[in-house]
Amino acid sequence: MLVRSLIEAKGTMVATIAADATVGGAVAELSRHRVGALVVSPDGRHIEGIVSERDVVRRLSELRARLLDEPVSSIMSETVRTCAPEDDVEAIMAMMTEHRIRHVPVVEGDELCGIVSIGDVVKSRIGDLERHRNELLEYITAR
């Protein structure tokens, strides 16, 4: 299965935030969109970084409540692993596992066109396994 199929099924909406927004604003956006990560972008199309719930929690122990007033740029990951719509979902799953990441922005050309989460990948994999199981059952019972 290709990433394109995942994006077509879930939609292309990507929650973004500006690098100069506050961490408190990022927390509010994470909650509002019910997502685990925001792509840091000045315009919703180009990626400057990514900020996740994990990034917030890791810095919270150091700065406590002061963290909420810090800019997103102070906690975001600037190195962002991306994928293309033509990439294979299994390859994305391997990348997520290898680099211990849970969200991968989808980029076509140089523009953001979606995001894939570990949940999306697992759901896809479970669907594949169920299809294979049903095919095997049909094969066995048809004999």
CA 78 distance to own-chain centroid: 15
Q: What are the structure tokens assigned to 2, written together?
A: 């290709």
pLDDT tens profile 49-92 = 999 999 999 999 888 889 999 999 999 999 999 999 999 999 99
DSSP-H helix ranges across the chain: 3-10, 23-33, 53-63, 89-99, 118-141
d(CA 127, CA 125): 5
Q: What domains are there in the chain, each with its CATH number?
A: 3-141 (3.10.580.10)
The model carries a pTM of 0.85
The whole-angstrom separation of Cα 113 and Cα 11 is: 9
Identify the helix (H) or strand (E) that includes residue 27.
Answer: helix 23-33
The pLDDT assigned to 128 comes to 77
